[in-house]
């Protein structure tokens, strides 16, 4: 199983991408729908919101008065943070519950509009970001019934594509014909997502020549991979050793003081073992062994030196 985030600004086409991935066989979990579920009438989340913000945000039928709540949190970062502290943990828990119920060989897709933090992005095997020209997005929102001023205001209120770039493993351009985007998604599914999932499940390093696209070994890519390794093996010290590893476009990283009991977690995160342990390194423990791991992602090779040892 792998988990893939699909994100992007309003009107960019996240739903279009998620819908096509579902048609191809992905298990799609919509974060907007989860967010509605956790504040449904009678839910613990809604009760906590009422306790925090007052009963004026609750309608007569027991549902959430979204405009009333929006009026409180809009422009008030502290209030927004309090709201997020109520809803976000519940959304994450519900996502994990549904992810765990998916088949063992699933490609689980999380349609998530608000992906803004590398620590959150590191929990996914891959982040796909959909983008389109702002004017194209405005036109789409107008077609949905929004006034032009409202459409532009909603776009302006979100983070920019430049902000999303450090979190993004693969950009999906959606300015053109629907057929072009569909073709891109189909190729991505066939050449990258399905092999990626199979490699993770079988604990196998990908063959980077498998046709999944051109890898990019830039600092942002290295930071994303390092964050994923750090999330998989907490307590380790992850560093970038060189701009590139042995394969073209490969990132070379080192994870030190890795608890050996967490090696299966590293494989599950997309970094399976490449070879038997070799040599000895002193990393807080004179018997710390060196393991070489690679990437299960056929679209982004990596060479990871794993040094075992407890801090």
Query: How many other CB atoms are found less than 10 A from the CB of residue 178?
Result: 11
For residues 200 and 202, what is the distance between their CA atoms, to the nearest angstrom?
A: 5
CATH superfamily of 2-201: P-loop containing nucleotide triphosphate hydrolases (3.40.50.300)
Residue 175 CB burial class (10 angstroms; 0-12, 13-18, ≥19): middle
Q: What is the pLDDT of residue 135?
A: 95
DSSP per residue, 108-175:
EEEE-S----HHHHTTSSEEEEEE--HHHHHHHHHHTT--HHHHHHHHHHSPPHHHHGGG-SEEEE-S
Of the listed ranges 18-32, 142-156, 235-249, the one predicted with least confidence: 235-249
Higher-pLDDT residue of 211 and 175 is 175
* Distance (Å) of CA 226 to CA 87, 103, 121, 271: 28, 28, 12, 11
What would the two tokens of residue 15 be?
């739903």
Query: Is the pLDDT at 86 greater than 90, yes or no?
Result: yes
Query: What pLDDT is stored for residue 215 in this prediction?
Result: 67
Predicted confidence (pLDDT) per residue in 88-134, tens digit: 999 999 999 999 999 999 999 999 988 999 999 999 999 999 999 99
Q: What is the pLDDT of residue 287?
A: 45
pLDDT at 5: 98
Residues within the annotated binding site for ATP? 11-16
In a 3-state reduction of DSSP, which class is residue 288? coil
Better-scored residue on pLDDT, 198 or 176: 198
Q: What does the pLDDT look like over 19-30, one tens digit per residue?
A: 999 999 999 999
Give the list of residues 6+ apart from residue 223 with CB closer than 8 angstroms, or none.
118, 166, 240
- Residue ranges of E strands in the chain: 2-8, 27-30, 107-111, 126-131, 170-173, 237-242, 251-258, 290-294, 302-308
Q: In the prediction, which pLDDT does 198 show?
A: 98
10 Å CB burial of residue 169 (0-12, 13-18, 19+) is buried
DSSP state of 107: E
Domain extent listing, the chain:
2-201, 219-308
Per-residue pLDDT for 250 more than 70? yes
pLDDT digits (tens, 9 = 90+) for 182-195: 999 999 999 999 99
Model pLDDT, residue 282: 37
pLDDT tens-place string over residues 54-74: 999 999 999 999 999 988 987
pLDDT at 247: 65
Give Rg (Cα) of the chain: 21
Q: Over 60: is that where the pLDDT of 232 sits?
A: yes
Rounded mean pLDDT, 162-177: 95
Annotated binding residues, written as ranges, equal: 11-16
């Amino acid at each position: 199983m792998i988990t893939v985030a699909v994100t992007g600004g309003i009107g960019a086409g996240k739903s279009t991408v998620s819908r096509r991935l579902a048609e191809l066989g992905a298990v799609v979990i919509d974060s907007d729908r989860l967010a509605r579920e956790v504040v449904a009438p009678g839910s613990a989340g809604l009760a906590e919101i009422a306790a925090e913000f007052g009963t004026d945000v609750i309608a007569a039928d027991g549902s959430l008065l979204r405009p009333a709540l929006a009026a409180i949190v809009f422009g008030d970062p502290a209030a927004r943070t309090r709201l997020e502290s109520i809803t976000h943990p519940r959304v994450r828990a519900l996502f994990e519950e549904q992810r765990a119920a998916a088949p063992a060989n699933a490609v689980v897709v999380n349609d998530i509009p608000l992906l803004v933090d590398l620590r959150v992005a590191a929990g996914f095997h891959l982040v796909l970001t959909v983008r389109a020209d702002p004017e194209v997005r405005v036109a789409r929102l107008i077609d949905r019934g929004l006034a032009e001023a409202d459409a532009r205001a909603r776009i302006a209120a979100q983070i920019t594509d430049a902000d999303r770039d450090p979190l993004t493993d693969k950009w999906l351009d959606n300015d053109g014909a629907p057929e072009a985007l569909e073709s891109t998604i189909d190729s991505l599914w066939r050449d990258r997502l399905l092999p990626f999932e199979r490699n993770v499940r079988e604990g196998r390093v990908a063959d980077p020549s498998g046709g999944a696209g051109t890898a990019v070994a830039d600092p942002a890519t290295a930071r994303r991979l390092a964050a994923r390794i750090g999330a998989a093996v907490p307590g380790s010290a992850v560093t970038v050793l060189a701009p590139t590893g042995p394969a073209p476009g490969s990132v070379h990283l080192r994870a030190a003081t890795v608890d050996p009991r967490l090696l299966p977690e590293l494989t599950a995160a997309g970094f399976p073992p490449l070879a038997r342990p070799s040599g000895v390194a002193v990393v807080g423990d004179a018997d710390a062994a060196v393991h070489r791991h690679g990437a299960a992602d056929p679209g982004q090779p990596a060479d990871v030196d794993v040094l075992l040892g407890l801090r």
